[in-house]
Amino acid sequence: MDVNEELKVAAWRKATKSASNQGNCLEVAPLSGGRVGLRDTEAPEKAPFVVSATVWDAFIDGAKNGEFDF
Protein backbone atom coordinates (compact mmCIF):
# COMPACT_ATOMS: atom_id res chain seq x y z
CA MET A 1 0.00 0.00 0.00
CA ASP A 2 1.44 3.40 -0.88
CA VAL A 3 1.73 6.09 1.79
CA ASN A 4 -1.23 8.13 0.50
CA GLU A 5 -3.56 5.13 0.72
CA GLU A 6 -2.13 4.24 4.12
CA LEU A 7 -2.80 7.77 5.42
CA LYS A 8 -6.46 7.54 4.33
CA VAL A 9 -7.07 4.50 6.52
CA ALA A 10 -4.65 5.37 9.33
CA ALA A 11 -5.78 5.14 12.96
CA TRP A 12 -5.43 8.83 13.89
CA ARG A 13 -5.37 9.74 17.59
CA LYS A 14 -4.76 12.81 19.70
CA ALA A 15 -3.81 13.50 23.27
CA THR A 16 -6.54 13.37 25.89
CA LYS A 17 -5.47 16.86 27.03
CA SER A 18 -6.65 18.23 23.69
CA ALA A 19 -10.20 18.21 25.08
CA SER A 20 -9.30 21.22 27.24
CA ASN A 21 -8.22 23.01 24.06
CA GLN A 22 -11.51 22.49 22.19
CA GLY A 23 -9.85 19.51 20.52
CA ASN A 24 -7.38 21.67 18.60
CA CYS A 25 -4.04 19.93 18.49
CA LEU A 26 -1.98 17.49 16.49
CA GLU A 27 -3.05 13.98 15.66
CA VAL A 28 -0.63 11.13 15.12
CA ALA A 29 -1.00 7.80 13.37
CA PRO A 30 1.35 4.82 13.26
CA LEU A 31 2.33 3.80 9.73
CA SER A 32 4.21 0.90 8.21
CA GLY A 33 7.95 0.71 8.67
CA GLY A 34 7.74 2.53 12.00
CA ARG A 35 6.89 5.83 10.31
CA VAL A 36 4.45 8.24 11.96
CA GLY A 37 1.91 10.55 10.32
CA LEU A 38 1.21 13.96 11.88
CA ARG A 39 -1.71 16.25 11.04
CA ASP A 40 -3.47 19.32 12.40
CA THR A 41 -6.93 18.61 13.82
CA GLU A 42 -8.08 22.01 12.52
CA ALA A 43 -7.14 21.06 8.94
CA PRO A 44 -7.37 17.28 8.51
CA GLU A 45 -7.91 17.73 4.77
CA LYS A 46 -4.36 19.05 4.36
CA ALA A 47 -1.54 16.65 3.62
CA PRO A 48 -0.04 15.23 6.81
CA PHE A 49 3.65 15.17 7.58
CA VAL A 50 5.25 11.74 7.60
CA VAL A 51 8.40 11.18 9.64
CA SER A 52 10.66 8.18 10.03
CA ALA A 53 10.80 6.09 13.17
CA THR A 54 14.21 7.62 13.97
CA VAL A 55 12.89 11.18 13.74
CA TRP A 56 9.80 10.33 15.82
CA ASP A 57 11.90 8.62 18.50
CA ALA A 58 14.23 11.63 18.70
CA PHE A 59 11.26 13.98 19.06
CA ILE A 60 9.63 11.90 21.81
CA ASP A 61 12.95 11.63 23.65
CA GLY A 62 13.43 15.40 23.43
CA ALA A 63 9.90 16.07 24.65
CA LYS A 64 10.34 13.74 27.61
CA ASN A 65 13.62 15.45 28.49
CA GLY A 66 12.13 18.95 28.38
CA GLU A 67 14.00 20.11 25.28
CA PHE A 68 10.91 21.87 23.92
CA ASP A 69 9.68 23.44 27.16
CA PHE A 70 9.16 27.18 27.06
pLDDT digits (tens, 9 = 90+) for 5-59: 899 899 999 877 776 666 678 899 999 999 999 998 888 889 899 999 999 999 9
Measure Cα distances from 45 to 23, 34, 56, 60 in Å. Answer: 16, 23, 22, 25
How many separate helices (H) and strands (E) can be counted in the chain?
A: 2, 4
Residue 45 pLDDT: 86
The pLDDT score that the predictor gives to residue 14 is 87
pLDDT of residue 21: 61
Q: Which pTM value belongs to this model?
A: 0.81
